[in-house]
Amino acid sequence: MLDANLRKEIIMEHYLNPLNRQTIEDKNYIKVNTNSETCIDNIDLYVLFDKDTIKDIYFNGEACAISTSATSIMIKLLKGKTIKEAKELIDEYYKMIKGEEHNEELLEEACCYEDIYKQENRIGCATIPWRGLMKALDEYENRK
């Protein structure tokens, strides 16, 4: 498990300086909106697939520290991964969110939310981008 200070550092770094934050007009990207019923986070994801690979992802929107950082971290982790790998990462991430055993090596920086299951009001925030990703995957697979 990552040290508590390191976890916080990762989150704050990705919150204050999120990567890949940009609105994309290119129609080849699948755009999905992801938000939560209980909080006010509102994020758009732009995902570009190339055959079985996630070639590129961007995001934009207004959201709290947890969901903004979780989005930035997720995108960093997923760029260039195959859809199969992405699905495996989704599984591992959700195991972690529930406080279960998970593969730390695969999740890399995303392990900074290892403790989030203790904060009920933040679980929704940490899963927002991942729910968006699943929507985009569905949409891509339905198009095929």
Partner 1 sequence: MNREDFPMMKSGYIYLDNGATTWKPQVVIDKINDYYTKFTANAHRGDYDISLKVDNEYENARDIVKEFINAKTRQEIVFTSGTTDSLNLIVEGFFKDNIEALDEIIIAESEHASNVLPWFRLAKSCGAVVKFCPLDENHYVTLSNLKKVITPRTKVISLAMITNVIGDLRPIKEICEYAHQHNIFVVVDGAQSVAHIKTDVQDLDCDFLAFSGHKMCGPTGIGVLYGKYELLDDIEPKNLGGGMNESFDNIDEVYLKPLPTRLEAGTPNIAGAIGLGAAIEYLQTIGMDKITAYEQELRRYLIRKLEEIPHIKIINIESDSGIVAFNVDGIFAQDVAVYLNKYKVCVRAGNHCAKILKNEVGVKNSVRVSIYFYNTTQELDKLVELLKDKNKILNEML
d(CA 132, CA 41): 12
Q: Is 2 in the site for partner 1 (CB under 8 A)?
A: no
DSSP 57-102: EEEEEE--HHHHHHHHHHHHHHTT-BHHHHHHHHHHHHHHHTT---
Spatial contact of 89 and 77, defined as CB atoms under 8 Å apart? yes
Instruction: By CB under 8 A, name the one of 11, 43, 45, 107 that touches partner 1.
Output: 11
Site residues for partner 1, 87-106, by CB under 8 A, read none
Which listed range, 17-25, 33-41, 47-55, 89-97, lies at the site for partner 1 (CB under 8 A)?
A: 33-41
Task: Establish if 126 lies at the interface with partner 1 (CB under 8 A).
Answer: no
Residues near partner 1, by CB under 8 A: 8, 11-12, 39-41, 62-66, 68, 121-122
